[in-house]
Amino acid sequence: MRAHKSLFVAALAMSLLVACGNAGDKGADKGADKGAAGDKKAEPAKADAEKGDKGAKKDGTEATKDAEGALVVYSARSKKLVGPLIEKFEKASGVKVDVRYGDATGLVTKMRTEGAQSDADVFFAQDLGNLGTMRDSKLLTELPQALVDQTLERYREGSRNWVATSGRVRVLVYSPERVKPEELPKTLKELNDPKWKKRLGWAPRNGSFQVHVSGLRAIWGEEETEAWLKGIKALEPGEYPKNSPQVNAVDKGEIDVGWVNHYYLHKIKAANPGLKAANHSFATDKDAGNLVMLSGAGILKASKRPEQARKFIEFLLSEEAQNYFAQNVYEYPTREGIATHKDVPALTTIKQPDVDQKALTDLDATRKLLQKLGLL
C-alpha cells in the first residue's frame, strides 16, 4: 500500500512538471509570435522609408538622400544634351551633382520666388535672356575676372554675372527641293516678301526667338523691328513651339522655310541622314539674321557650395567640355583653339552683326512687343 502511494505521488509530481513546462513553452511561443508580429510591424516602416526615398527622387525636382550635400544645378538645357557632360564633371571632380531640369522661365520664376532661400547653386541657361533676368534680380554673384577672360571677348558682358558656354547661329532652314539657293533672301529683312506667304514657319513663344527679337531691337530699333514683325505676321507663317519641329516641317513639306538655330538641322540629320532640309546664312556682312545666340551659366548668391559651383563653371569652359559642345552638340565653342564639327561651318564664315550681349538679355520689352502684336 505504501509502495502504491509512493508511485502515485511520483506520477502526480511528473504531471505537474510537464504541465508547467508546456505552459512555459506556450508562453514562449506566444512571446515569439509577438516578436514576429513586431518584426512584421517594422516592415511597413521600412517600406515607408523606401517609399520616401523613391518619392524624393520624383522627376528630379526634389533633393534626394543620395544628393544631400550635392551641388544643385538648375538646368534649362535638356538632360539629353548636357546630361553626359555633367556625368563627366562628376567623374573628373568627385563632386556629386543634383540636376533639376526644367523650362527656363519656370526655373527662373522658382529661383526669383525663393530668393536667398533657394537651394540652387548654379543656373545653366539655354539663352542669355533668362540669365539677364537673374542678373537684374540681383540673384547672381560676380564671377572672377580670370574665369570670364577664358571666353572670347565678344561673348562677355560687363556685369561678370555669367559666362557664355557655347553658341548657336540663327539661320533659315529651307527645302532644297522646293527653294533654290538663289531665291533665298540675302538679308533677314528681305524675308518680309509676299512670295513667302504661307510658306514660312516661326516660334514666337520660344526663348531663342525672343532673344533674337531683342537683338533686332538693338540693331534695327524699336519701330523697324515692330514693322518687320507685323510684315512677317501678315505672311501667315505656321507657328511652332520651338526650333526642331520647324526642321521636321520643312522635311515633310509643311513649310518651305523656318527660322531656327543652326544646330537642330545637324542633330536631326545625324539620326535621319535622308533629311530633306538645309541651313542658310545671310550673305550680307553683319546682317541681323546671322546673330550668334549664347548659352551660359552663373552662380547664385544664395549658393551654399560656391567653391564646387566655381569648379563646375570652370569645367564648362574646359577643353573637354568645349569639345563636347562642338563635336557632340554641333554648337560653337566660346573659347579659342577649339575646332567646330566637320559638318558645321566655321564661325569665321558667318558674317555676324555687332551687338552688345547685354541687349540680348532685355526680354521684358521684347515680350511686351510680342504681346502687343498678338504673338504671345
Look at residue 68 in the predicted model and tell me its pLDDT. Answer: 61
Q: DSSP state, 254?
A: S
Q: List the one residue out of 348, 224, 91 whose CA is nearest residue 215.
A: 224
43 domain-assigned: no
Pairing of strands 97-101, 257-261: unpaired
Burial class (CB in 10 A: 0-12, 13-18, 19+), 83: middle
Look at residue 174 in the predicted model and tell me its pLDDT. Answer: 98
Q: Which residue has the higher pLDDT, 5 or 343?
A: 343
Same-domain status, 153 and 115: yes
d(CA 292, CA 345): 13
Same-domain status, 196 and 142: no
Same-domain status, 156 and 296: yes
140 domain-assigned: yes
261 domain-assigned: yes
Same-domain status, 189 and 138: no
Q: Print the domain residue range for 78.
A: 66-167+292-343
For the domain that residue 148 is a member of, what is the CATH number? 3.40.190.10
273 domain-assigned: yes
pLDDT in tens, 282-297: 999 999 999 999 999 9
Same-domain status, 299 and 313: yes
Same-domain status, 308 and 274: no
59 domain-assigned: no
Distance in Å from the first CA to the final CA of the chain: 115
pLDDT in tens, 38-48: 333 333 333 33
Same-domain status, 179 and 230: yes
pLDDT in tens, 138-192: 999 999 999 999 999 989 988 899 999 999 999 999 999 999 999 999 999 999 9
Residue 31 has pLDDT above 50, yes or no: no
Residue 30 has pLDDT above 90, yes or no: no
Mean pLDDT of all residues in 89-104: 96
306 domain-assigned: yes
Look at residue 357 in the predicted model and tell me its pLDDT. Answer: 84
Same-domain status, 196 and 305: no
Quick one: which H or E segment has residue 20? helix 2-56
Same-domain status, 284 and 297: no
Number of domain units in the chain: 2
115 domain-assigned: yes
Count CB neighbours of 276 within 10 A: 14
Give 102's pLDDT tier (boundaries 50, 70, 90).
very high
Residue 213 has pLDDT above 50, yes or no: yes
Look at residue 107 in the predicted model and tell me its pLDDT. Answer: 96
354 domain-assigned: no
